[in-house]
Amino acid sequence: MAATHPFTVDLSGKVAVVTGGTGVLGADFSRALAANGAAVVVIGRQQAKADAIVRAIANEGGTAIAVACDVLDTGALRAAHEQIRSELGPCDILVNGAGGNHPKGTTTNEYLTDVDLQPHGPDHVSFFDLDATGIRHVMDLNFLGALLTTQEFAKDMVDRPGGSILNISSMNAFTPLTKIPAYSAAKAAVTNLTQWLAVHFAPVGVRVNAIAPGFFATEQNRRLLFEEDGSLSARSRKILAATPMARFGEAHELLGSLLFLASDDAAGFVSGITIPVDGAFSAYSGV
């Protein structure tokens, strides 16, 4: 079934590269960009998953190719870029959607307790047990991945009209969530990088913005949000209590912001912003 689109923009003649294009959100981004006329490159680490998204786009009448690539591998990014230029042409729109968390960058408890200070087993992770490897993985995937991919593809946009880079941040970039210090810090870095790049690229006509999703149920976080029987987890109940709209977002509800920011006609003078899509989570004081 085709994705739901809130409105249409004219992206015909544009080449859009979407990293993390095989994820729940990235797949919808790819399909929406294609439905609005862009030739889309679905980038993911698994070729088979990227191929499946491309088939869905083709069935909907769009144009897309699948490229397997690790966004932390500069050689692979360079090879992917050469392939894309050969098959579709230079990149006009870049969506840095690759990201994620890691268990080794996550604490068991929300607050430091006496249990954290006592001897405990490997299944309990205190702040003092956080693993540098896990933290580095999260920072690299979310922040460095966006930076390296931008280094590679933004070259195509310099002094060409309509260049647009969209980063995927998170509401925890502004108010860090308990338990996930590495992911919160990484997304804060993405938001800051968005502002820096917007200023740096302004003289050469490249716009850089970000979208900050609130809480969306994806395959990546489903185990955190739901119990095995499908009921809400304790953490989900806290999330929804702090979200005035009292529900999780749905992937298609990000597409309006995506299409607006991608379109030079709609957002030609918009650069350096991060749009919250969060059901009023960021506006609620808790009282």
Residue by residue, DSSP assigns 64-107 as: EEEEE--TT-HHHHHHHHHHHHHHT-S-SEEEE------GGG--
Looking at residue 4, its pLDDT comes to: 63
What's the mean pLDDT in 69-96? 98
Looking at residue 7, its pLDDT comes to: 87
Give per-residue pLDDT as tens, 242-265: 999 999 999 899 999 999 999 999
What's the mean pLDDT in 19-26? 94
What's the mean pLDDT in 2-26? 89
CA-to-CA separations, 41 to 57, 128, 138, in angstroms, rounded = 11, 41, 24
Q: How far apart are CA 169 and CA 63, in angstroms?
A: 27
Asked whether the predicted pLDDT for residue 1 surpasses 50, the reply is no
Please give the full DSSP string across 220-251, using - where no structure is assigned.
TTHHHHB-TTSPBPHHHHHHHHT-TT-S-B-G
Distance from CA of residue 231 to its chain's centroid?
A: 26
Task: Give Rg (Cα) of the chain.
Answer: 19
Q: How far apart are CA 38 and CA 101, in angstroms?
A: 30
DSSP SS3 for 100: coil
What's the mean pLDDT in 82-93? 98
Q: How far apart are CA 142 and CA 137, in angstroms?
A: 9
Instruction: Report pTM.
Output: 0.94
* Residues involved in catalysis: 183
Q: What domains appear along the chain, each with residue ranges and CATH number?
A: 15-214+249-278 (3.40.50.720)
What's the mean pLDDT in 53-68? 97
DSSP SS3 for 109: coil
- Type of residue found at 118: Q
Instruction: Output the average pLDDT for the chain.
Output: 94
Give per-residue pLDDT as tens, 152-202: 999 999 989 999 999 999 999 999 999 999 999 999 999 999 999 999 999
